[in-house]
Amino acid sequence: MNSTELRAAFSLAFIYVLRMLGLFMIMPVMAVAARDYPDYSVMLVGLAIGGYGLTQAMLQIPMGVLSDKIGRKPVIIIGLVFFALGSLLAAFSDSLMWIVLGRFLQGAGAIAGAIMALAGDLSREKQRPKVMAIIGIAIGFSFYIALLLGPTIANAYGLKGIFLATGVLAILCMLLVWLVVPNPYDVAPKGDTLPVIKDIKRLLAHPQLMRLDLSVLVLHMLITLLFVHIPKFFVALGWPMSQHWQLYLGILLVSIAGLALIMGLGRKINQVSLMVASVMGLAIVFALLSIEHVSLLWLLVLVSVFFTCFNYLEANFPAMVSSVAPAGKKGSAMGIYASCQFFGAFLGGMLSASISQFFGSQWVFGLAAVLCVVWVYLIKGLHSTQRLKRYTLKVNSQTAEHAMQQIAELDGVEDLTFMPSEQVIYIKVDGQKFDIQRARNSLNLEE
């Protein structure tokens, strides 16, 4: 990668991390810290934890489309302004209801699509996967960092401290966008980065994508559901919130080791079979959590197993969406996927709180276990996609028909789409059979 691509990758990854920290740091502390507010209720706690997901889900696709009309940086700045305002509203709130409203406003800063599109604009085709990978890795680590920082900041400064820190981080992100992130010198083909409204209906009905969209919705519903209750369990077992980071550190280390083990098994076992096993692992965790009396050691084991399974599914679902989506439709498919992901977080907070308020947390975990069993049948219908790759080839519209015929005849080509407005051909291929250099040479295309 050249200097511009490196600068773009790390600055955008840093912006993404700071923003996700602000969303996630509240998860491991809200269930305990919210008790200090006069209007405390389990329902409001659930909404405060997952409320951001509703506005994220509603605005994820529109904000991505808007970035194609008015520019990436303006949309990212607008999103960060919403995020900062929501953080400040929550920070200076004296009631849980206003914190919930602040979380909804935080979620209105739905800039994931615009960030990914800007990353595409700032990178060459051959280097684009590396830039996206750096951002993706950073997103994954942001959740781990949030679990460790959230309890520490909340213990020292309360929820107000977390939200103030989040607001400051949002302002810092705005400065990074203007001063550090390079200005785009090109506009990348948007089919693989941005959602297109006209594609949404067809992709929602795509059998494989629909299974993945529902799967990520359930997955994030379950993790939000878990955090409505787990912090309270730690406190009840004699661990004050100031020490929760120690518990989460142990959980994360064990789950990372477990993830490495599962990834190792992936060389010998079918991808879908490992996904089924992971979902069954979640079902067992929730079934055992539904038992009334759980010791601290047993709780740590169960939560570690949960995160091991969660991390494997979280890492593999986006890759499958990327492979399954028709050629030139990955941006739209990922937009729908992200919306389902955030909507799942909202549902998890709302359903967990409402069920536990009337029936107790054991009912929540029991129903979650049943849901996981049903989910297994959804996962079994997925097809492994580990061998599929994507490429984008620029062509002249006057010779596009001839180019399409040449590419279609090459070994390994499974799907291709020509976009006249972008002057590109999107292709989806079997990576073991397709030779990209041969394709470029046959079309006399420059790398």
pLDDT per position as a tens digit, 228-253: 888 988 988 888 888 888 999 999 99
Instruction: Enumerate domains of the chain plus CATH numbers.
Output: 1-193 (1.20.1250.20), 205-386 (1.20.1250.20), 389-443 (3.30.70.100)
The string of DSSP codes covering 57-97 is HHHHHHHHHHHHHH-HHHHHHHHHHHHHHHHHHHHT-SSHH
Residue 55's CB: how many other CB atoms inside 10 A? Answer: 21
- Which residues share a beta bridge with 388? 430
Residue 327 in this model has a pLDDT that exceeds 90:
no
List strand residue ranges (DSSP E) for 292-379, in order: none
Reported as a pLDDT band with limits 50, 70 and 90, residue 367 is: very high
pLDDT of residue 447: 42
Residues in contact with 33: Cβ distance below 8 Å, sequence separation at least 6, in sequence order: 154, 158, 159, 241
Assign 305 a pLDDT band (cuts: 50, 70, 90). Answer: very high
User: Looking at residue 443, what is its pLDDT?
Assistant: 64
- Cα–Cα distance list, 284 to 121, 229, 233, 279, 361 (Å): 44, 17, 18, 9, 16
pLDDT of residue 285: 94
Residue 291: CB atoms within 10 Å: 11
- The verdict on pTM exceeding 0.75 is yes
- pLDDT greater than 60 at residue 403: yes
**426 membership: H or E segment, kind and range:** strand 424-430
One-letter amino acid identity for 86? G
Is the pLDDT confidence value at 358 over 90? no
Going by C-alpha positions, the residue among 185, 188, 195, 230 that lies closest to residue 45 is: 230
pLDDT of amino acid 3: 80
Q: What is the structure's pLDDT at 344?
A: 92
If pLDDT is split at 50, 70 and 90, which confidence band does 133 have? confident
Q: Which two tokens stand for residue 362?
A: 């054991």
Q: Which region among 144-148, 185-189, 243-247 has the lowest average model confidence (pLDDT)?
A: 185-189
CA 190 to CA 184: how far, in whole Å? Answer: 14
- The per-residue pLDDT for range 87-116, each reduced to its tens digit, is 999 999 989 999 999 999 999 988 888 888
